[in-house]
């Protein structure tokens, strides 16, 4: 099973949340126990200092330390027995103060001592992966049937029929020889809807698929470049890697971002890297060819013109048509 980074990150986050929650629950239980049995607070404190002494004595080494280790060990055992008895007497499990992880194999860290992922992490990962597939499938729940032709008239309908045929074929034959697609046309004509259907179907066939609006994708690159803490840097880097490396990237709404030299270079980098790796991309945009040429660097425009097959979206804004229909 090839691990998808975004879903793995989510699975890890859930494990982390579980660890935090377990720790918080343990803390509450501890406070409750200490309030009811004050002696246990004292034994707990004593136990901690005994253990501290044990560790430093053991680290010291030598015959003298060995004697002290034995003595401390003896007292620790006695105290533990006392503690277990007290807990039992008050109706608690004898190990109630020890704090048990949900997963005993990895202590809820998600990884075994040899560095391999634990079964519990893989189970969470599978859940995340299925959830992601469900989310995508929701968008294309009825496959391409969600894309109705009745909203397009005359030549626009014929045009849309061709788009649908190309997309069905794209899904059916998806692989290294697939085309890159540019969905181009006015607002409310089904570009996002159709691209989600394609994404869902390709993901269902088992390929890693990422759907991002161009704006969001650029923000991820920005976060990676300008983040100040390691955690957001790593999270952003994982997403950047996915954007660059997934088998199919849907880059929706290109041209709605505030275009800066940063977004230009990020876009160039995305398109160029993916072409070099022979990974497929679907771009959707409201901009026509002239607007694209005016807004983006020649190196970007040249790649789109040369390497992408254009599907035009024509007709009357389906958002407005549906709105009108609701009021009729």
Ligand X SMILES: Nc1ncnc2c1ncn2[C@@H]1O[C@H](COP(=O)(O)OP(=O)(O)OP(=O)(O)O)[C@@H](O)[C@H]1O
Binding residues (CB under 6 A) for ligand X: these are 147-148, 151, 187-193, 253, 286, 313, 318-319
**Residue count of the chain:** 328
> What is the spatial distance between Cα 123 and Cα 236, in angstroms, rounded to a whole number?
24
In the bound complex, which residue of the shown chain has the CB atom lying closest to ligand X? 190
> What is the spatial distance between Cα 94 and Cα 278, in angstroms, rounded to a whole number?
60
Q: Which partner, ligand X, Zn ion, Mg ion, none, binds residue 250 by CB below 5 to 8 Å per kind?
A: none
Sheet containing 248-254, strands listed edge to edge, beginning at the edge strand earlier in sequence: 209-213, 248-254, 280-285, 180-185, 308-313
Give the SS3 label for residue 31.
helix
In the bound complex, which residue of the shown chain has the CB atom lying closest to Mg ion? 192
Q: Considering the complex, state which of residue 15 and residue 210 has its C-beta at the smaller distance from Mg ion.
A: 210
Residues binding Mg ion: number (CB under 5 A)? 2
H helix runs in 205-286, sequence order: 214-226, 230-245, 261-276
Q: Which partner, Mg ion, Zn ion, ligand X, none, binds residue 188 by CB below 5 to 8 Å per kind?
A: ligand X
Out of 8, 57, 103, 283, the only residue in the binding site for Zn ion (CB under 5 A) is 103
- Per the CB < 8 A criterion, the answer to whether 113 and 124 are in contact is no
3-state helix, strand, coil in the chain (%, to 5): 65, 10, 25
Q: Which partner, Mg ion, Zn ion, ligand X, none, binds residue 106 by CB below 5 to 8 Å per kind?
A: Zn ion
> What is the spatial distance between Cα 328 and Cα 324, in angstroms, rounded to a whole number?
6
Q: x/- binding map, residues 142-181, to Mg ion, per CB under 5 A? A: ----------------------------------------
Please tell me whether residue 15 binds Zn ion under the rule CB under 5 A: no
Q: Which partner, ligand X, Mg ion, Zn ion, none, binds residue 190 by CB below 5 to 8 Å per kind?
A: ligand X
CA distances from 50 to 40, 53, 80, 131, 245 (A): 15, 5, 11, 48, 53
Closest distance to Zn ion from the beta carbon of 100 (Å): 13
Q: Considering the complex, state which of residue 129 and residue 191 has its C-beta at the smaller distance from ligand X.
A: 191
Of 78-86, 96-104, 136-144, 310-318, the segment contacting Zn ion by CB under 5 A is 96-104
Subset of 172-231 contacting Mg ion (CB under 5 A) = 191-192
Give the SS3 label for residue 252.
strand
- Per the CB < 8 A criterion, the answer to whether 312 and 182 are in contact is no
Out of 105, 173, 273, 299, the only residue in the binding site for Zn ion (CB under 5 A) is 105
Query: Which residues lie near Zn ion (CB under 5 A)?
Result: 103, 105-106, 118, 120
Contact residues toward Mg ion (CB under 5 A) are: 191-192
């Amino acid at each position: 099973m090839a691990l998808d980074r975004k879903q793995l990150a989510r699975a890890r986050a859930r494990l982390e949340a579980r660890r935090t929650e377990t720790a918080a629950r343990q803390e509450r239980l501890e406070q409750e126990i200490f309030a009811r049995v004050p002696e246990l607070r004292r034994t707990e404190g004593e136990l901690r200092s005994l253990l501290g002494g044990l560790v430093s004595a053991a680290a010291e080494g030598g015959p003298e330390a060995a004697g002290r280790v034995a003595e401390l060990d003896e007292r620790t055992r006695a105290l533990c027995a006392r503690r277990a008895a007290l807990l039992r007497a008050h109706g608690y499990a004898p190990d109630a103060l020890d704090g048990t992880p949900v997963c005993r194999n990895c202590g809820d860290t998600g990884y075994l001592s040899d560095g391999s992922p634990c079964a519990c992490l893989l189970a969470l990962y599978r859940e995340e992966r299925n959830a992601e597939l469900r989310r995508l499938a929701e968008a294309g729940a009825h496959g391409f049937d969600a894309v109705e032709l009745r909203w397009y008239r005359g030549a626009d309908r014929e045009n849309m029929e061709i788009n649908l045929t190309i997309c069905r074929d794209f899904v059916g034959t998806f692989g290294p020889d697939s085309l890159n697609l540019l969905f181009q046309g006015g607002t409310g004509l089904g570009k996002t809807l159709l691209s989600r259907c394609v994404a869902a179907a390709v993901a269902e066939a088992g390929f890693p698929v990422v759907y991002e609006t161009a704006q969001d994708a650029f923000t991820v690159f920005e976060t990676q470049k300008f983040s100040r803490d390691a955690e957001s840097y790593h999270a952003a880097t994982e997403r950047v890697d996915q954007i660059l490396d997934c088998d199919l990237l849907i880059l929706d709404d290109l041209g709605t971002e505030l275009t800066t030299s940063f977004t230009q270079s990020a876009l160039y980098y995305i398109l160029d890297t993916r072409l070099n790796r022979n990974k497929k991309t679907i771009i959707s945009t409201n901009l026509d060819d002239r607007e694209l040429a005016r807004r983006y660097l020649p190196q970007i425009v040249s790649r789109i013109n040369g390497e992408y097959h254009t599907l035009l979206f024509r007709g009357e804004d389906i958002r407005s048509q549906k709105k009108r229909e609701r009021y009729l």
